[in-house]
Amino acid sequence: MAADFARRLIRWHRQHGRHGLPWQGSRDPYAVWLSEIMLQQTQVSSVIPYYQRFLGRFPDIATLAAASQDEVLAYWSGLGYYSRARNLHRSAQIMAEQHAAEFPREFEQILGLPGIGRSTAAAISAFAFGSRRAILDGNVKRVLARYLAVAGYPGEKKVEDELWRHAETLLPEAGIETYTQALMDLGATVCTRSKPDCASCPVSADCAANQQVRQAEFPQPRPRKALPEKATTMLLFMRQGEIFLERRPPAGIWGGLWSFPESDGTEDAQQHAGMRFGFEAGSLEARPAMQHVFTHFRLHISPLLIHVRRIQPRARQQEGVWLTVEEAMGAAIPAPVRRLLAGLGKP
């Protein structure tokens, strides 16, 4: 069974795998390493120009190690996840100092380099040295979860461990490079996250998810973490066609951006906020509620439009500014404030 899986993949790869990519055909571990790092969170088409430019400027470990971090980052600029570039640079310097600028062949030593985890170390070992090592990146997790109907969320340790065991078991005795490339290619082009093309899949006949027509159920998605909910009332003080904004503290949410004064929504707090600035409130008008989702919580915003009748002359205003809506739209304001301002024109 396991042998069939690998054999079919290898056979499939000849005709349907991705060929001719700039990093294929090279066994230079440096080139293989660079491509694997660039491909970690980035798709092939974006990587290609960066890979060629980077390799042109830093053709080997010694050159990379000798370069400044600034220049390395400049060549990475636009790819994102800049810690990858910093780790790449650090690794090159480690190799220059400790391994005579040679890329280590030993799996444990490769794994020990910064920015290289178990799967990346295995991919480099397989492609550069022909070592028989299992990989398990996001694509492979999806292929195996479906092929073997592995339940649970792969981000969970228990599930990931099970997938690693399967990955090891399915390894072929020979042809590790083609097999590894085929597995990656299958996940990227056939066994895709949505709408997998099972009709074109070389292992669909004994794929558990396909047999049960449950492709969409594997791998199980990350459990939805219930976001904490927070609520605030934004006070939109308005006077003579201008609105009042104050600058937020430099750190924290919307640090340094301009926003409306806030209150907890009680009448006392609203009055207090107005008094803080010396505003004498006229009519109040609740605006439509809205919400804004952050990475770690959901914020419910109740906007309250307050027409300011009079500003007490002694009032200090160095913490805030009065701007026309148009001026405010051009200022450094967070997205929800922008939406609120945009909605002010309409009733």
Partner DNA sequence: AAAGCGGGGAA
Partner DNA sequence: TTCCCAGCTTT
Interface residues toward DNA, by CB under 7 A = 40-43, 45-46, 78-83, 87, 113-121, 137-139, 141-142, 154-155, 157, 192-194, 219, 221-222, 224-225, 293, 295-296
- Which residue bears the tokens 């003579």? 240
Cβ neighbours of residue 8 closer than 8 Å, sequence gap 6 or more: 202, 203
User: Counting beta carbons within 10 angstroms of the beta carbon of residue 233, is it exposed (0 to 12), middle (13 to 18) or buried (19 or more)?
Assistant: buried
Token pair for residue 236? 């939109």
Shortest Cβ 50–DNA spacing (Å): 10
Q: Which of 36, 102, 162, 280 is catalytic?
A: 36
Shortest Cβ 226–DNA spacing (Å): 11
Toward DNA, which CB reaches closer, 142 or 166? 142
Shortest Cβ 79–DNA spacing (Å): 7
Annotation says 36 is catalytic: yes
Cβ neighbours of residue 124 closer than 8 Å, sequence gap 6 or more: 29, 32, 33, 36, 110, 116
Toward DNA, which CB reaches closer, 65 or 159? 159
Token pair for residue 79? 């790819």
* DSSP H stretches of helix in the chain: 2-16, 29-39, 44-57, 61-66, 69-76, 83-98, 107-111, 118-129, 138-147, 157-169, 176-189, 208-211, 267-277, 325-329, 335-344
Toward DNA, which CB reaches closer, 193 or 300? 193
Toward DNA, which CB reaches closer, 168 or 285? 168
Shortest Cβ 201–DNA spacing (Å): 16
Q: Which residues are catalytic?
A: 36
